[in-house]
Amino acid sequence: MPVPTKIPIDAEKLQSEIDELALISENPAPVVTRVLFSEADLKARAFVKGLCQNAGLVLREDAVGNIFATWLGTEKNLPPVATGSHIDAIPNAGKFDGVVGVLGAIEAIRALQKAGFQPKRSVEIIVFTAEEPTRFGIGCLGSRLLAGALSLEKAAQLRDSQGKSLEEWRKSTGFNEKELGTIKLKKDFYAAFVELHIEQGPLLEKENIAIGVVEKIAAPSTLQIQLTGSGGHAGAVLMPGRRDALLAGAEIALAVEKSALESGSPDTVATTGVFRIEPGAVNSIPCRAWLEIDLRDTQVKTRDLALLNVEKSIHEICQRRNIQFDLKRLNVDAPALCDSVLVQTVLDNCRTINLSVKKMVSRAYHDSLFMAQICPTTMIFIPCRDGVSHRPDEFSSTEQIKNGVIVLAKTLSQLSAE
Ligand code: GLV
Ligand code: MN
Ligand code: MN
């Protein structure tokens, strides 16, 4: 079947669905918070599954809640073409991160259906479970398990800040009918994976370019640390000999910043994004602290150097301050290289429809980081205002989103017609 030249994207409908989904949140608008397995996350899943059903897609879910919505092709024995992203959102987020890639994929399929296109290979939308690390400390939980990049032993050890395990969450949400071991996909289960996403950085907007095509995704890593000192009365315990967990944590956070500044690479970024203390009373010395540290780079060498320096600092600071610590490397991932043929396909598609385009590196991570381990993968980026993301004022215009969906639809039609 020839690929359609005219793809009638209904950008207004897509925008209203993005707006509607944004209202399913743990916080009042414009804040979007949808932490994995929260009531908002479960409601948002139901909303998206409803849209998929209305589009005639066949639904299935796996043992960690990854959702697969399939537009059946005429040749069911061929590996499908996949697209998709995530709908979970970190606390205090906006409405476009991940969502554009999920709802945009549904609109891309609806538009291809309207154009009379019938795919040869099935086209599958994946709504990945927990791209965001909020609940369990590690990102891309669903895609890691699909790619076999997270061992079942490590998955069994995952706990949220209340101590509730992944297994307990699977039970309470009803995803436990199948074992976690059933999630992993065979290599090349998919013919290709293409993810549409907002850039989450400023380059496309600055250079007035409509589309970015991702060639590489930076290498992320996460450390989790629990610090234990000793508490006591803020008035009665004199300063010598105190074992204040917060102060050790504060020194560690500064060492984290230093590790990035001194890695020798401008691409190293390091953030202490979680810092909780106990007991959290103004007249009580903090006896315990929990930190989560995010450290990334486009190059593994400088990322690893910074990581080692942070770990050395933690040892030194805790020894000097007589603080016990429990340090875990939650994840230390390689960067992903995208498939050069797919990158070229997307570039050519943009040029055919006169959209300005450039190749890019993604500094944010995405489920594509893990999909790239099992099939040819690339990403389509659209600009976002001032490069802002992970904030309620995150914004891409209806027109910018429409551009991304047209490129996605065109690419999916080509890949599924072969
Ligand atoms: C994804 O949300 C990231 O933190 O890069
Ligand atoms: Mn995000
Ligand atoms: Mn995202």
DSSP 87-117: --EEEEE-S-TTHHHHHHHHHHHHHHHHTT-
CB of 383 closer than 8 Å to CB of 349: no
Is the sign of the CA dihedral 170, 175, 180, 185 positive or negative? negative
- Distance (angstroms) between ligand 2 centre and the Cα of 133 equals 9
Strands (E), 44-103: 58-61, 67-71, 81-86, 89-93
Q: How far apart are the C-alpha atoms of 308 and 297, rounded to whole Å?
A: 14
AA identity, residue 260: A
Query: Which value, in Å, is the radius of gyration of the alpha carbons in the chain?
Result: 22
Structure-token match 């992944």, residue found = 166
Smallest CA separation from ligand 1 atom 2, residue: 132
Extended beta strands in 321-369, E state: 324-332, 336-337, 357-362
Q: Is the CB of 365 under 6 A from ligand 1?
A: yes
Task: Decide whether any atom of ligand 1 lies within 6 Å of the 96 Cβ.
Answer: no
Q: Whose CA is nearest to atom 5 of ligand 1?
A: 364
Average pLDDT on 113-126 reads: 98
> How far are the Cα atoms of 63, 128, 171, 188 from residue 146, in angstroms, in the given order?
10, 9, 19, 12
What is the mean pLDDT of the segment spanning 311-339? 98
pLDDT tens-place string over residues 399-417: 999 999 999 999 999 999 9
Q: What whole-number distance in Å separates Cα of residue 288 and Cα of residue 324?
A: 10
Quote the ligand 3 centre to 287 CA distance (angstroms). 35
pLDDT at 196 over 80: yes
Cα 343 to ligand 2 centroid, rounded to whole Å: 23
Which atom from ligand 1 is nearest to the alpha carbon of 132?
2
User: What is residue 266's DSSP assignment?
Assistant: T
User: Which amino acid residue places its CA nearest to atom 1 of ligand 1?
Assistant: 365
Question: Would you say residue 2 has pLDDT above 90?
Answer: no
What value does the mean pLDDT take over residues 257-268? 96
Q: Under the phi-then-psi rule, with left for phi > 0, alpha for psi from -120 to 50, and beta for the rest, what region is 149? A: alpha
The partner residues of 61 in beta bridges, in order of sequence, read 67
Q: Closest ligand 1 atom, CA of 363?
A: 5
190 Cβ inside 6 Å of ligand 1: no
Residue 299 has pLDDT above 80, yes or no: yes
pTM: 0.96
Q: Answer whether residue 1 shows pLDDT above 80.
A: no
| 366 alpha carbon – ligand 1 mean position (Å) | 6
Query: Which pLDDT does position 5 carry in this prediction?
Result: 85
- For residue 141 and ligand 1, the question of a CB distance below 6 A is answered with no
Residue given tokens 């009373």 in the structure block: 281
pLDDT in tens, 127-182: 999 999 999 999 999 999 999 999 999 999 999 999 999 999 999 999 999 999 99
Strands 81-86 and 192-198: parallel
* Cβ-contact 147, 374 below 8 angstroms: yes
pLDDT at residue 3, rounded to an integer: 82
Going by their DSSP bridges, the two strands 192-198 and 377-382 should be labelled as: parallel
- Percent of the chain, pLDDT > 90? 98
Atom of ligand 1 lying closest to residue 90 CA:
2
Q: What does pLDDT average to over the chain?
A: 97
Q: For the chain, give the percent of residues with pLDDT over 70.
A: 100
